[in-house]
Amino acid sequence: MKYEDAPDLKFRMVKIVKVLGMDHVDIDRIECLRGFGSSSRNIIARCHAIGKVMQKAIGIKAFYAIEFLEKFDKLSKDEQDKVIIHELMHIPKSFGGGFRQHDFVCEKNIEMMHERFVALKDKY
């Protein structure tokens, strides 16, 4: 695997966070990366975190990385926004290094958040 910083995706992520009022997401402790060379077939993006034990061991606060695989760039802008929203929804309100599961991060909730984003994005 090869990784590259994705400042364009971070910019879009920050806008989504602000428009949707995801105030629990600390944009200074989350980064976006493009991943190349994954053998995963059905994965477009994934959210990573440093677990609580490692946070404690190295004396840092939670930090998240969202990895966008090569398939992501082939999606339409709307579908890309949905993927970004999906990955952000995995981050719990505690921003503590854990993840919200797919019972919450589901198609219905993603669609609802995306519709809200589309309705509000031009006001920001």
Query: Domain span at residue 43?
Result: 2-123
Could you read off the pLDDT of 58-81 as tens digits, one per residue?
A: 999 999 999 999 999 999 999 999
What is the per-residue pLDDT for 30?
97
By percentage, how much of the chain surpasses pLDDT 90?
88
The CATH number for 32's domain is 3.30.2010
Quote the number of domains for the chain.
Answer: 1
The answer to whether the pTM exceeds 0.85 is yes
Exposure class string for 12-50: b at 16+ Cβ within 10 A, else e? bbeebbebbebeebeeeebbbbbbeeeeeeeebbebebb
Residue 124 predicted with pLDDT over 80: no
Token match 């589901």: residue? 106
CA atoms within 13 A of residue 94's CA, in its CB half-sphere: 9
